[in-house]
Amino acid sequence: MKFRTFALPAMLLFLPAMAYALPSGGGPSNIVKSNNIILMEGDLIGPVKAFRQYVIGPESERYVRDVNVDFDQHGQIISAVQSYGPNPVWESQLHPDNIVAGWVSRSAVAVKTRDGTKVTQFVSAYKTDKAGRIVKVSNVEAQPGAISVTNRYYFYTPDQRVRFYLSLGGRPGFGLYLYGKDGRLTKVIKNDNVSYSTFTQDGKDLSTTTKTPYITYSSLCQQWDPGGNCTLVEKQEKLYFRGNGGEEKTQVTTLWQRQNISYYPGGYREKGPMPEKEKQK
């Protein structure tokens, strides 16, 4: 499945870097899929009940890249939690909210620098229309001495797929969603980054890459379950920065991530031995 974290600081990650997929092919409606793509830029195959992602191997002692998502029987996200560390430390939670007729996410980010630790908090309200589509997201970003509000508006084509958004206010911008002939999300173009996905010949998630001016996330699937969802990912994070002398530098981090997926009755269950890389944890 493809889930990307840090889609927008105020949005539950949720997330820039990773690949996940929403129940598709006879599963959730296009409205449900579009909502999940907006909430986490991800989609999954089959009647998925829960998705769990975490770092395995020696790197698990240092790095945190945890994602936990639960779905209802229609494939809609009903809760999501994300943790990221060690720097920045990022904690996000998403849940349905009757007051806003949609979802609310709350996030906190702590960044350590030479001058100390900077903490920023985000609250995002996802409002749906009568058809159940997310049409507006209000993002509030708060840090010491400053508060910023951004409103994001989503637009759909007659097939009920989200195609475009426009952000106004504190963080103005835009985004465009592109799909393949099979309806899978293949590319997301934003004013400040680009994400794209590739698939195997039989339609399984193969790789996902997200490029920003400061960091590039690349994920390559190494193992799938019988349902076609990815269960073992090799992930690379490239951070671009300048050294003390002003020279350009690149820091590369490679992680292995396990993705555990459970299904509603009639779905699939992963079989087979535990990968060697996970045994070494």
Evaluate whether residue 100 is within a structural domain: no
CA-to-CA dists, residue 110 to 14, 88, 117, 120, angstroms? 16, 6, 6, 7
Residue from 38, 36, 14, 12 nearest 23 by CA: 36
Q: 176, 162 in Cβ contact below 8 A?
A: no
In this structure, is residue 150 part of a structural domain?
no
Cβ count near 269 (within 10 Å): 10
The pLDDT score that the predictor gives to residue 277 is 44
Q: What pLDDT score does 245 carry? A: 80
Alpha-carbon span 152 to 136, nearest angstrom: 6
> Burial level of 90, CB count in 10 A (0-12/13-18/19+)?
buried
3-state helix, strand, coil in the chain (%, to 5): 5, 55, 40
Query: Does the pLDDT value for residue 229 go beyond 60?
Result: yes
Task: Map tokens 């820039």 to a residue.
Answer: 16
Q: Are 248 and 203 in contact (CB under 8 A)?
A: no
Alpha carbon distance, N-terminus to C-terminus of the chain: 23
Q: How far apart are CA 252 and CA 206, in angstroms?
A: 21
- Is the pLDDT at 180 greater than 60? The verdict is yes
Answer whether residue 209 is part of any domain: yes
Answer yes or no: is pLDDT of 148 > 90.
yes
Q: What share of the chain has pLDDT > 90, as a percent?
A: 67
Which pLDDT value is given to residue 266? Answer: 72
Instruction: Please identify which residue in the block is written with the tokens 């490679």.
Output: 254
Does 44 reside within a domain? yes
Q: Which residues pair with 184 in a beta bridge?
A: none
- Exposed (0-12), middle (13-18) or buried (19+): which is 213, by Cβ within 10 Å? exposed
Instruction: Kindly indicate the confidence band of residue 51, based on its pLDDT and cuts at 50, 70 and 90.
Output: very high
The pLDDT mean for the chain works out to 85
Beta bridge partners of 61: none
Please report the pLDDT score of residue 267 as a whole number: 61
Predicted TM-score of the model (pTM): 0.84
Greater pLDDT, 176 or 5: 176
Return the higher-pLDDT residue of 268 and 215: 215
Cβ contact 140:122 at 8 Å = yes
Instruction: Give domain status of residue 105, yes or no.
Output: no
In a domain, 5, yes or no: no
Contact call for residues 110 and 88 (beta carbons, < 8 A)? yes
> Is-cis flag, bond preceding 88, omega within 30?
yes
What phi and psi values does residue 60 have, to the nearest 5 degrees? -65, -20
Structure tokens, 20 = 């996940």
Residue 2 lies in a domain: no
CB 11 within 8 A of CB 139: yes
- Give me the number of domains the chain comprises: 1
Picking from 10-24, 143-157, 174-188, which range would have the lowest pLDDT averaged per residue? 10-24
pLDDT bin (cut points 50, 70, 90) of residue 115 is confident
Q: Check whether 3 has a pLDDT greater than 70.
A: no
| pLDDT tens digits, one per residue of 187-214 | 999 998 999 999 998 888 999 999 999 8
Give pLDDT, residue 22: 41
Domain that holds residue 217: 30-84+161-270
pLDDT at 24: 42
On whether residue 110 sits in a domain, the answer given is: no
